[in-house]
Structure 1
Amino acid sequence: MKTQRWMWIAWPAFLVAAVLEMIVFAMVDPGDLHWFGNPLGLSRQAIYTLAFFVFWGITMASSALTTLLAMSPFEVNRCPVPEGQRPEDCARNGQCC
C-alpha cells in the first residue's frame, strides 16, 4: 500500500513539474538568472535540471499533503502494534497513544 501511495504522490508531481519546467523556461532565459545580484555560475542544462528537481520537490510536497489530508481518521490514528503486545502505558480506550 505504501508503494502505491508513493506513486500517487510522485507520478502526478513529476508530470506537473515537467509542465512547470516548460512554462517557466518558455518565458525565462536561464542565462539571465541572477542570485543575490550575481549571475549564476551554472550551465543552462544545470539550471534546467535544478529547476526541474525544485519543481518536482514542491509538487511532491503538495501531493503528499493532499494524500495525508485524504486519509481517514482511522488510518491516521490506528496503532500498528497488536492490542495484546502493546506496552501498559500505551493502551488508552483500546487504541495506542
Structure 2
Amino acid sequence: MKQRWMWIAWPAFLVAGGIEMLVFAMVDPQDLHWFGDGPIELSRSAIYTVAFFVFWGAAALSSALTCLLSRSPFEVNRCPLPLDGRPAACPRPPGR
C-alpha cells in the first residue's frame, strides 16, 4: 500500500512542479482575478503555493485513477483475509 501511495504522490509532485513553471512563466500572479471580479489579495508566494497544491491535487487524482484502473480482476475481487488467513468462503476442514 505504501508503494502504491508513492506511485501516486511522487509523479504528481513532479508534474505539479512542471505545470507550476509553465503556468507562471506566462502568467503574472498579480494579474489574476476571481472570475472577473477584483484581483486576488494574496502575495505572489502565496499564489504560487496555493497553485502548486491545486496542481498537485489534480495530478494526484489523475495518478490515483490510473492506479485504480490498472488493478487486476484478482485484486478487485479478493476479499480481505481474516486473522487465521483463510477466506470466509473456504472454511477449515473438520478435525483441524
TM-score using structure 2 length: 0.84
What residue is the counterpart of 1:3 in the other structure? 2
Q: In angstroms, what is the RMSD of aligned CA positions?
A: 1.6
Compute the displacement of 1:77 (Å): 1.3
1:38 counterpart residue number: 38
Q: Which residue matches 2:94?
A: none
Q: Distance in 2 between matches of 1:8 and 1:84?
A: 30
**How many residue pairs were aligned?**
87
Which of the pair has more CA radius of gyration? 2
CA distance in 2, matches of 1:73, 1:85: 17
Distance, in Å, in 2 between the alignment partners of 1:19 and 1:66 is 19
Following superposition of structure 1 onto structure 2, how do residues 49-60 of structure 1 map, counting pairs within 5 Å?
Answer: 49-60=49-60
Shift of 1:84: 5.3
Q: 1:66 is matched with which residue?
A: 66
Structure 2 stretches of 5 or more lacking a match?
91-96
Matches of 1:85 and 1:10, distance apart in 2: 32
Question: 1:63 is aligned with what amino acid?
Answer: S
- Higher strand content, 1 or 2: 1
Could you tell me the TM-score, scaled by structure 1's length? 0.83
Task: Name the structure where helix makes up a greater proportion of residues.
Answer: 1
Give the structure 1 partner of residue 27 of structure 2: 28
User: Alignment identity in percent?
Assistant: 70
